[in-house]
Amino acid sequence: MTRVFSGTGDDGTTGLLGEARVPKYHPQPEAYGAVDEASAAFGLARAITRSKEIASITREIQQDLCHVMAELAASPEYREKFQKMTPERVRWLERQITTLGQTLQISNEFVIFGDSESSAAFNLARTIVRRAERVVAKLHLEGDVKYGTILQYLNRLSSLCFVLALWETQKGT
């Protein structure tokens, strides 16, 4: 069996993709850790939804988030190697929002999700994505590496989460 622990993080540091090590509280592990949490929430939502279409969209999002995590986890000299997020992926999210949103009644009032497990799971994913976006924004604005496409992706993803939660409430019986 492959070893699933290295013990190298016992000193409070973690390795980036490349040669660098940083403290576990460094903004990079904070950023890819928040994205990892979002991916886990999407996994829960995918397991709960009854819609094969929504499950398929959710799985594709999880694949994208793996690429986002790799890019965020790369040390500066390896970043280009792991850079897979493109403006096309942002446009794909926008198409999903538009397509699904056209079938929904969207209120101007606050929506409280939880009428179904799946709507609650997508709403949880939304809040985690928003946190990830805040952490990546700080890394982008204060760091040497710019993550503009990832920021756009996370911003649109939080909007899609809202639409998915609403879709599950209105259509996902």
The answer to whether residue 72 sits within a structural domain is: yes
- Which tens digits make up the pLDDT trace of 72-110? 999 888 888 888 899 999 999 999 999 999 998 887 877
Mean pLDDT of 146-161: 96
Higher pLDDT, 173 or 15: 15
Tokens, residue 68 = 């986002």
For residue 102, give the DSSP letter. T
- Distance CA(113)–CA(38), nearest Å, equals 17
| Tens-digit pLDDT profile for residues 20-38 | 888 888 899 999 999 999 9
**Closest by CA position to 90, among listed 135, 34, 149:** 149
In a domain, 67, yes or no: yes
Boundaries of domain holding 72? 22-101+112-170
Asked if residue 14 is part of any domain, the answer here is no
Residue corresponding to tokens 């979002």? 38
Per-residue pLDDT tens over the stretch 113-143: 888 999 999 999 999 999 999 999 999 999 8
**CATH number of the domain that 69 lies in?**
1.20.1200.10
Say if CB 166 and CB 119 are below 8 A apart.
yes
